[in-house]
Amino acid sequence: MHVPDIIIAIDGYSSTGKSSFAKLIAQEFGFMYLDSGALYRGVTLYAVEHGLIDERNVIDTAALKDALDTLDLHFADGHEGGNTFMGERCIEKEIRSLPISRKVSPISALPEVRQFVDRKLRELGARKRVVIDGRDIGSTVFPDAELKIFMTADPQVRAMRRMKEMQGKGEKVSFEDVLENVRERDYIDSHRKVSPLTKADDAIVLDNSDMTLEDQMVWIKKLIAGKFGNE
């Protein structure tokens, strides 16, 4: 289908399948996929590897701020390990590890880090034909994005998906623990001081509790045809 040169912003709760949906959109429409969370995770990896955050999550903000001036985080295709790079090095695996996941919240709460990520995303988004997933893309990073989607799903459904994903990786977890973690992350994401998760006024809600990925593609294609059909 013909899709005009637009920015698609996808925000929403954790474990709603934002990145799977965004990746499929990018593939089907020939858009570039920008994973904003991967940039926050990349900065976190840098901070951890350079001893700029300690075990009590105390951050050497001045040193990290200096490092951001020259930190080369970018996306590149063609590497089987994934597409997030720090300089020449593919960092996809490291940024998804538990130690990094545990430190990314305090790092992503720093205003300097948010400015760094926002600037990068805006540079990449300027050429349009991008789909970006995150928490504050439609509300803060690209308030003028032509299409904004806010993803949500029943916490029980999200916990079940997350549990299966974790079990698939060989981790033993109980449903109750995963559900509690989903609820806790919802609370932290929506109540933090800096750029909390909020639905932009003009975002369209997608509740995918009972939808497959294919159903969601049908949904967005209809939406685009209705909104931009005559362009």
Q: Point out which residues bind ligand DC (CB under 6 A).
A: 36-37, 40-41, 104-105, 108, 134-137
Cβ atoms of 40 and 162 closer than 8 Å: no
CA quadruple 191, 192, 197, 200: dihedral sign: positive
DSSP for residue 94:
H
Residues 230 and 49: their CA atoms lie apart, in Å, by: 51
HSE value, Cβ hemisphere, 13 Å, CA-based, for 193: 4
Please report how close the Cβ of residue 195 comes to ligand DC at its closest, in angstroms: 6
Q: Which is nearer to ligand DC, 17 or 37 (CB)?
A: 37
Phi, psi of 75 (to 5 degrees): -105, 135
Please report how close the Cβ of residue 1 comes to ligand DC at its closest, in angstroms: 28
Please report how close the Cβ of residue 136 comes to ligand DC at its closest, in angstroms: 5
Token pair of 51 as six digits: 């001893």
Q: Select from 145, 124, 122, 153 the least CA-distant residue to 18.
A: 153
Q: Which is nearer to ligand DC, 37 or 125 (CB)?
A: 37
Q: Which is nearer to ligand DC, 184 or 231 (CB)?
A: 184
What one-letter code names the amino acid at 157?
V
Q: Which is nearer to ligand DC, 139 or 216 (CB)?
A: 139
Please report how close the Cβ of residue 95 comes to ligand DC at its closest, in angstroms: 8
Q: List b or e across 10-42, with b for residues whose CB sees 16 or more CB atoms inside 10 angstroms.
A: bbbbbbbbbeebbebbbeebebbbbbbbbbbbb
Please report how close the Cβ of residue 39 comes to ligand DC at its closest, in angstroms: 8
Q: Which is nearer to ligand DC, 30 or 197 (CB)?
A: 197
Please report how close the Cβ of residue 63 comes to ligand DC at its closest, in angstroms: 21
Q: Which is nearer to ligand DC, 138 or 220 (CB)?
A: 138
